[in-house]
Structure 1
């Protein structure tokens, strides 16, 4: 069967905060035996003339720094047997990353959620989020760590992904994310936890609440569906379990991931949003801002033509009339 990931695009700005994303890109490329495209974008505002003397000097210095950093990355990659294509572009980082991913047909983009800006707690509107929204393939967003922690992190044990968390809401996009997660888990020999969050009960239009028996019946139905998904995952040789919890989706996902020392969260980028999207942004965006572990967002899964699905989507209901 055609491998799920044959080519990975790593976007890096060469900062200390990008080191963690670089490590994951090398780890995944080595695990999959994938080719690695390494891209550095020299951020330059549109409308300005790059050939203007002072701009040319500025960009020239940035290019030298980028070339040195990409050269060091290529050396690291070659030491573990990876083939690397280096590329430096000028422009708006998110636009260039998306364009290069399309041009090269990359199967996965790896990007840090924090670079030179210093806004380590902000993702909304950042390069990473714009890439996630527009990339033609899944995106692994890796939160940067503080500069003083980089050296100790580099000297720590090799990267590994042993526990994966896949929050779902039974939408098509979340089931695609689970399907993608299963394929990644097979390659990494990781356990999978399928998580469903029952949001707090809200008043209906007539200001009535659901009867407790109705809530119990709903919980039972959800439990059955989750067990069916878990059985499908274990049926292909993986360790898997299901968890049904109550609470606010983003908070509950993050709390579970932290308490269980999850190594990777896999999420679809579309699904049921509701009021929480209007107030705080989508659940996926909220998780991206606050998760300590990397978050693999699956907006446009690239499954090969010969791919055999493990997770079946429900058949659409037949129209009447």
Structure 2
């Protein structure tokens, strides 16, 4: 039920687009370094209410099935050339729902999916498959937003073109961010990564009663936060994980994205509450804001499942 078990299970969701090819590179790299089993799922998008027995729909689905079968066969050959075995699944329906169903059926430890990172009105109206999966996924999700590369899939090394050396972990000390940090520690142990812990100290709007004492209190708060992060770095060092920590000011999403560029980071690991409905529409999510704009992959942790007897690296608050 976690990446700690002897043979973790990775589910790679693909629509065979150029963006999915970037996600494929990460799925193959993780499958190789984690010695994980890998399953690829392709969803033939077919909306509810459409009659699959209707002649036009039946021919449409048959054509999609033919194309998907060939694409998965080609993928299996590419994967085999890298020494990785692959299972394949084809589903019919709404992509996000079918991906989630496959993850539950496979008891997956990680879902890997590509995303174009929709923004603006299209995002408000449609969202994205990756974001819908993230909100209710039964395991962490690695969303890869990257521009298509002509070199994708051409190198025989499983981790060609994939960086997992430095992982950025935003920490706001909430339970979900600490669970994400714990998961990032496991990722570091599996992949030999180093961690950079980041806390964003949000700006304060001062009124007419602004005094130097308030600024002093803010400085004291920064020092306490710095010390607390240092405690996490020390705990990680005890588990033989290289880590450093940073406290930066600004708006959370902007500061996280800037830190990912300047440190720099190969992947961002974030906790998410998985909000849905009106509260999500009104307040949004820092995680999804980062997901839509990050140039590096974002691994979201909503409900990590640690193995029985798991010895925590990061103490429970």
Normalised to the residue count of structure 2, the TM-score between the two structures is 0.89
Aligned to 1:170: 173
1:142 corresponds, among 128, 144, 149, to: 144
Gaps of 5+ in 1: 315-321
- Give the secondary-structure state (helix, strand or coil) at the position aligned to 1:151: coil
1:279–1:90 Cα change, 3 Å:
closer
Do structure 1's residue 294 and structure 2's residue 297 form an aligned pair?
Answer: yes
User: Following TM superposition, by how much is the alpha carbon of 1:65 offset from its aligned partner in structure 2, in angstroms?
Assistant: 1.1
Partner of 1:14: 16
CA distance in 1, matches of 2:140, 2:103: 11
Give the equivalent residue in structure 2 for 1:48. 50
| Per-residue deviation, 1:108 | 0.4
Contact 1:173–1:269 (8 Å) recurs in 2: yes
- Aligned-partner SS, 1:211: helix
1:45 and 1:303 map into 2 onto residues whose CA distance is 36
List per-residue Cα deviations over 1:112-157 (Å, max 9, x = no partner): 1139xxx5886561110000011100000001424xxx21344574
Consecutive unaligned residues of structure 2, counting only runs of 5 or more, are none
Aligned pairs (5 A) from 1:120-135: 125-135=127-137
TM-score (norm 1): 0.88
Q: Distance in 2 between matches of 1:279 and 1:242?
A: 31
CA shift in 2, pair 1:23/1:263, >3 Å: same
Shift, 1:242, TM fit: 0.3
Matching of residue 268 in structure 1 with residue 271 in structure 2: yes
Aligned to 1:152: 151
Q: Is 1:219 aligned with 2:222?
A: yes
3-state SS of the aligned residue for 1:46? coil
CA contact (8 A) 1:112 1:143 kept: yes
CA distance in 2, matches of 1:290, 1:19: 19
Distance change >3 Å, CA 42–CA 277, structure 1 → 2 = closer
Q: Provide Cα deviations, 1:6-41, integer angstroms capped at 9, x if missing partner.
A: 100000001122100011111101111111111000
Count of residues in Structure 1 that have an aligned counterpart in Structure 2 = 304
Question: Are the structure 2 counterparts of residues 153 and 99 from structure 1 closer, same or farther at C-alpha, using a change threshold of 3 Å?
Answer: closer
The answer to whether residue 73 in structure 2 is matched with residue 71 in structure 1 is yes
Write the distance in 2 (CA, Å) between the matches of 1:7 and 1:207.
56
Q: Shift of the alpha carbon at 1:160? A: 3.0
Counterparts of 1:175 and 1:211, CA distance in 2:
28
Deviates more, 1:208-217 or 1:20-29: 208-217
Aligned partners of 2:179, 2:209: CA distance in 1, in Å?
36
Name the structure 2 match of 1:306: 309
Contact 1:169 1:271 (C-alpha < 8 Å) held by counterparts:
no
